[in-house]
Structure 1
Amino acid sequence: MLFSNIPKLALLGYLTAQRVSGEVVPLDSNATSIASPPALASTTATPCICTEWSQISPAVAECTSITLDNIQAPASSAIILTKLKTGTSVTFSGTTTFGFTNSSQFRPIQIAGNNVTIQGAPGSIIDGGGPQYWDGLGSNGGLPKPGQFMKVQITNNSILKDLYIQNYPSHGINLAGVINSTVQNIVLNNSLGDAPNNISNGLSAAHNSDGFNVGNSVNLLLKDCKVWNQDDCVVVSDSSNVTVRNVFCSGSHGLSIAGGGTGPGHDIENIIFEDSVVTNSTNGLRIKTDFNATGSVVNVMFSNINLSNIKNYGIDIQQDYLNGGSTGIPSNGVHVADIRFLNVKGLVVPAAMNYYILCGNGSCENFIFEGVDIQGGGDTSSCNYPEGGCPE
């Protein structure tokens, strides 16, 4: 464009318009002035980089790339990301904290979305403030504590990744209704809760601190995660086509299947746990089905698992489970079949059992043990199925 024939006032206005908006603003009919530049409100609209909790809701409504930077959520104020636009990316940056919320109904982080990415920036920390709540009782009593620290329902090639979460009050990440998605490189570090505190009566201060609760999910890959906690490391219920790969568990109740329930719909099938480590834990690998429940657990494989310093059972399958204590008398309403243990090795402590299997009458079928070698237990193993007894 040549500027020699444009009056100086118009030229100055044109260049100013270019600097303000990046677009040409048409000259008026006299070519001596320009129309007013666009209002600058659009450049100061809803922030997609949130530094205050109050900015999150409008950002979710407007943005598809959101950063939550050093958010300090007030008491009773959840980070709600349940209405994310399709394809949205959310990044947790800096340190995320929550005000003390004395309620078992409180869910500090809630996520739902289609084809979304939820991730942590390098060095970021999400801190649940667990020491404010831990009393050795978890969700079984004592001080009311936020349950399900992070509730996640993501679908259609979504991914949850690269999060470092520490000191969550009770249950960790609840993967409920996750479909065709991946969870990877998550650290759940509740190791601070291993030691007793002044109100836990000598018990580990943190309790019921499940790592990952997987329920009602289909086609989920959970991989490359590390969990330090005081309850199930990963527990799968009412789901199908779930693979748990390369997970490290310490201080937990092990890698678990929780089967059965009241009424229809409590079926679990095509579950793989592979290439993982369970150490310093109560149990190694476990299938527990509720006493007097119905449902099924079919086609489950535990492959390439290393166990060490296991306190109760190396491999545990029991159909007498009740929260807070087992009955010792199995029921047979949950069909458990096609269960494979391949290349499972390791050590339990002398006071533990290498194997414990307690099936209901006729409810277990086709258990396969190949390359299984668990040693160290001084308490005699007990297996009422298969007919040949325990693997050893």
Structure 2
Amino acid sequence: MRSRTLANLWCLSACHGLATAKTTSSSLRPATTSSTGPSPCTVTAYSAVAAATASCTAITLKNIAVPGNATLDLSKLKAGTKVTFAGTTTFGFAEADYDMIKVGGTNITITAEAGAIIDGNGQAWWDGQGSNGGIAKPDHFFVISKALGNSVIKNLYIQNYPTHCFSISGSEGLIIENIVLNNTAGNAPNSRSGGLAAAHNTDGFDVSTCNNTIIRNSKVLNQDDCVAVTSGNNITVDGLYCDGGHGLSIGSVGGKSNNNVTNVLFENSYILNSQNGARIKSNSNTTGFIANITYQNIKVSNISIYGIDIQQDYLNGGPTGSPTNGVIITNVTMCNIQGMAESIAKDYYILCGDGSCSNFRFDDVHITGGSNSSCNVMPTGGFVCSP
């Protein structure tokens, strides 16, 4: 994938001539693009997966039932391997923290036949606490580590994952596209969740230490971040439909092994029924660097907390109201961000540490419906942070 820099998006001209944000997405259904080409290794039992990945480069996984506390391990695929999910892939229950699917390799393709479903059996673990407590549960469902050399993951329909879905790290040149993540069954309380939504901490895509990575044309229905980038360079998120979660996020940044996020573009996306629209957050009393971040052509609807949120006061997962300045945030562009927040929400909220935020520009940004907006750093571009 060709590396690029987003610095040229900094000026006002970034807004001009761009398509409006997508406000519709494909209906909720398994992917309808079928795989093509030969499939010499068709696997129908979990016990045969290891042998197939060791010897085959065209693998079909058909109706695989993965036992509890076991991993569907695709992390050592041969270069150029294509894996196709077929039928329904299921997962047994175990009260334990483990990775349910692992993927890695060079020039690999992970895809699915028409109608294929990957069902994470999340309801067996959901207790309203997610990875914050309760019973032991898998913290990540689909772990992608070191997917290199223009690998592609596409056309997957995943439902009912226990907590975070995709964990993407150490990858270069990866494209993820045409994915549906449907965790709507976790919206309702259950007998263990104390009246709260049963599913919790159900991020769609968590990205760290990646370079030249694209996530596009995908749909996420969940209860946490639609996409969260915590470290990496040259990340593009394009054409996302995010319903029910926490929006499109940078962070939280600080206190991790890698705390640099540079050249990230979120564009042409629709965020609805979510706590936040666009969000950048850093952790208190830590260090890091966030630069060249662009959100453009974004529509929001029914936002319950913040339409646009930039905060530097996170501690133990929550805001303190007292920002610190160890994480530098610079060159942030918001361009053509439109939509509605609920009356209890803030349309805009910027809380930066002393001297740690600079070069913010908001052009054609109009979120209405909320109240009590607050900005201790004022972006240029004619933006008004009105209450």
- Which residues in structure 2 correspond to 1:98-113 (within 5 Å)? 98-104=91-97, 106-113=98-105
Tell me, in whole angstroms, the C-alpha distance in 2 between the residues paired with 1:223 and 1:260.
23
Post-superposition offset of 1:178: 1.5
1:342–1:371: 8 Å Cα contact kept in structure 2? yes
Cα distance, 1:323 vs structure 2: 3.8
Contact 1:381 1:390 in 2 (8 A): no
Residue 203 (1) aligns with residue 196 (2): yes
Query: How big is each residue's C-alpha offset from its partner over 1:196-249, in whole Å with a ceiling of 9 and x where there is no partner?
Result: 111111111100000000000000011001000000000001100000000000
Which residue does 2:267 correspond to in 1? Answer: 274
8 Å contact kept, 1:98–1:128 = yes
Candidates 213, 217, 233, aligned match of 1:220: 213
- How far does residue 324 in structure 1 lie from its aligned partner after superposition? 3.7
Structure 2 residue runs of 5 or longer lacking an equivalent are: 1-39
**Given that residues 259 and 296 in structure 1 are in contact (C-alpha distance below 8 angstroms), is that contact kept between their aligned partners in structure 2?**
no
Equivalent position amino acid for 1:318 in 2: Q
Following TM superposition, by how much is the alpha carbon of 1:391 offset from its aligned partner in structure 2, in angstroms? 3.8
Structure 1 residue 145 corresponds to structure 2 residue 137: yes
1: distance between equivalents of 2:364 and 2:43? 52
How far 1:76 moved relative to its partner?
1.6
Verify: 1:134 aligned to 2:126, yes or no. yes
Residues 24-39 of structure 1 aligned to structure 2 (within 5 Å): none
Equivalent AA in structure 1 for residue 300 of structure 2: L
Match of 2:326 among 330, 333, 336: 333
Shift in alpha-carbon separation, 1:226–1:82, aligned structure 2, 3 A? same
Aligned residue for 1:76, secondary structure, equals coil
1:70, 1:366 → 2: CA distance? 52
Q: Distance in 2 between matches of 1:319 and 1:193?
A: 30
Q: Structure 2 length normalisation: TM-score?
A: 0.87
Q: Does structure 2 conserve the Cα–Cα contact (< 8 Å) formed by 1:372 and 1:391?
A: no
Aligned to 1:21: none
Distance 2:229 2:68 in 1: 31
Tell whether the 8 Å contact from 1:320 to 1:326 is kept in structure 2 after alignment.
yes
Deviation at 1:145, TM superposition (A): 0.9
1:136-191 CA-to-partner distances (Å, cap 9, x unmatched) read 00011111111110001211110000000000000000111111110000111001
Check 1:390–1:53 CA distance in 2 against 1; reply closer, same or farther (3 A cut).
same
Q: 1:382 aligns with which of 346, 352, 374?
A: 374
* Letter of the structure 2 residue corresponding to residue 84 of structure 1: L
State the distance in 2 between where 1:325 and 1:335 align.
19
Query: After superposition, where does 1:365-376 map in structure 2 within 5 Å?
Result: 365-376=358-369
Q: Which of 282, 286, 298 is 1:289 aligned to?
A: 282
Q: What is aligned with 1:312?
A: 305
Query: SS of the residue aligned with 1:204?
Result: coil
Aligned Cα RMSD in Å? Answer: 1.5
TM-score, normalisation: structure 1: 0.86
Partner of 2:109: 117
Paired AA for residue 276 in structure 1: S
**Of the two, which has the highest radius of gyration?**
1
Q: How many residues align?
A: 345
Tell me which residue corresponds to 1:22.
Answer: none
- Once residues 326 and 139 of structure 1 are traced to their aligned partners in structure 2, the CA distance between those partners, rounded to angstroms, is 19
- Structure 1 runs (4+) deviating above 4 angstroms are 387-390
SS, match of residue 208 in structure 1:
coil
How much has 1:390 moved relative to structure 2? 4.6
Q: Distance in 1 between matches of 2:49 and 2:271?
A: 38
Task: Identify which of 248, 257, 261 aligns with 1:255.
Answer: 248
Partner deviation per Cα, 1:30-64 (whole Å, 9 max, x = no partner): xxxxxxxxxxxxxxxxx711000011000000000
CA distance in 2, matches of 1:65, 1:236: 32
Instruction: Please give the alpha-carbon distance, in whole angstroms, between the structure 1 residues aligned to 2:69 and 2:339.
Output: 44
Instruction: Give SS of 1:61's match.
Output: helix
- How is 1:349-360 mapped onto 2 (pairs within 5 angstroms)? 349-360=342-353
CA distance in 2, matches of 1:380, 1:255: 22
1:151 is aligned with what amino acid?
A: V
Are 1:80 and 2:73 matched, yes or no? yes
Matched to 1:372, the amino acid is V
Alpha-carbon contact 1:170-1:209 (below 8 Å) kept:
yes
Aligned residues of 1:264 and 1:294 also touching (Cα < 8 A): no
Task: Give the whole-Å Cα distance in 2 for the aligned partners of 1:152 and 1:264.
Answer: 18
Q: Summarize deviations over 1:319-346 as a string: whole Å, max 9, x none.
A: 0012442111000000000000000000
Larger RCO (alpha carbons 8 Å, 6+ apart) = 2
| Structure 1 unmatched runs, 5+ | 1-46
Paired AA for residue 351 in structure 1: I
Contact conserved, 2:361 with 2:379, CA < 8 A, in 1? no
Q: CA deviation at 1:387?
A: 7.2
Q: How far apart in 2 are the matches of 1:361 and 1:71?
A: 54
Q: For the structure 1 residues 50 and 74, does the alpha-carbon distance in structure 2 shift closer, same or farther, using more than 3 Å as the test?
A: same
Pick aligned residue for 2:337 from 344, 348, 354: 344
CA contact (8 A) 1:300 1:339 kept: yes
Alpha carbons 1:264, 1:295 under 8 Å: kept: no
Q: Which amino acid counterpart does residue 126 of structure 1 have in structure 2?
A: I
